[in-house]
Amino acid sequence: MYIKKRVLIVCSVLLIVVTAVLTVGLVNPFGFTNYLDFIKFSTVTNTIKNMYYEDVPMSDYVNSSIEGFAQGTEDAYTNYIYGEEADEYMEDVSGSFDGIGVYIENNIEDNTITVVSAISDTPAEKVGLVSGDKILKVAGVSYTGEQINEAVRNMKGQTGTTVDIEVLKAESGETVSLTVERQHINVKTVKSKIIDGTNIGYISISQFVESTGDDFNKALSKLTSDGAKSLVLDLRNNPGGYIEAAVDVASNFVKSGEDVVYTLDKKGNREDYKSNGKQYYIPVTVLINQGSASASEIVTGALKDYGLAHVIGEKSYGKGIVQSVFGLGDGIVSVTIARYYTPNGTCIHKLGIEPDETVPMELNKYANLDNLTLEEDEQLSAAVNYLNSVSK
């Protein structure tokens, strides 16, 4: 009788333990194998919730917790935003918003807000913001890289209003104060022309959005029908964008079925992005600089690896990682999911792509590319000279 009772008690205890473990597994944000972390998380959150002197909406606790979890990766590109920030993000990716027109990032090496590039023909370009500049203050308030979303919100505003920013210039090392007038920005990502006095086509891409591939295809088709025998592809100050748009652009030159780029995640799973379009057999030069990043480097890397283009300019930015973006209620999660590799197996993250022909240029010229003459733009001049030499 005693033995049976003991067995019953042991079984009851085991049932309680198993139930507790399974319950923890269902609700533990760290995974039930990290039981002590769950206890710590639960204790701290309940202490704050029960003892904080004011009532806080549960949604604020949840959103802040998720935001902190993303920051735990210490990756500048993995984050969670919600509310107004999420709405502003959707405006940005749509290519239509009110602001100053600059792409920036949280530079985790020195915790600063660093300029990747200014958008062509925007207030940011007109006041001379270039890759490597650091935005220290917005409207008199200092911001660190971790506060980038708040800084972005304060740089945006109604068209016609102004905002004061303090910038540490990359070229001179001086701190300057700038007053920038906001405007409504509709980003036209593809511009094309035939360079005066030549049969050389010119296409610049300011960023890679959903429509960029189709717009590029139309521009290239028109240039060739108008008599262009070679092409300058200008990716300077292009911070990147959708990987699919980069593949669409590169597919105009890379043989159908060949890799344009491939990615590897942390488990070693490989995903190939292959050329799917018409191949143009014309001489191509690609212009890059410090502001050429991400999708720009995908296109440049593919064309360089296959020997399909002569790359001119300065070393690119070096962003060789891929993000996936997910909607989650009123929030948006951006997660770095993989590194990308050029067809030859090179990951350029934090390294950049070296040009075939290095042609340095003053940083202040990068803020005024659209207004430079051919003679003033040393890199474009070098591209024209190269194409003239190989077309003879």
Q: List, by residue number, the catalytic residues.
A: 294, 305, 319
Which H or E run contains 302?
helix 295-305
Q: How far apart are CA 25 and CA 20, in angstroms?
A: 8
- The C-alpha atoms of residue 300 and residue 392 are separated, in whole angstroms, by 25
> Count of CB atoms within 10 A of residue 324's CB?
10
- Name residue 332's beta-bridge partners: 81, 327
How far apart are the C-alpha atoms of 148 and 134, rounded to whole Å? 12
Residue 68 tokens, joined:
């902190």
| Closest by CA position to 262, among listed 251, 276, 272 | 272
What is the rounded distance in angstroms from the CA atom of residue 114 to the CA atom of residue 291?
A: 11
Torsion angles phi and psi, residue 93, rounded to 5: -70, -20
Please state the length of the chain: 392
| Separation between Cα atoms, residue 184 and residue 156, nearest integer Å | 10
Measured distance CA(111)–CA(90) in Å, rounded: 25
Interacting residues of 109 by C-beta distance below 8 A, sequence separation 6+: none
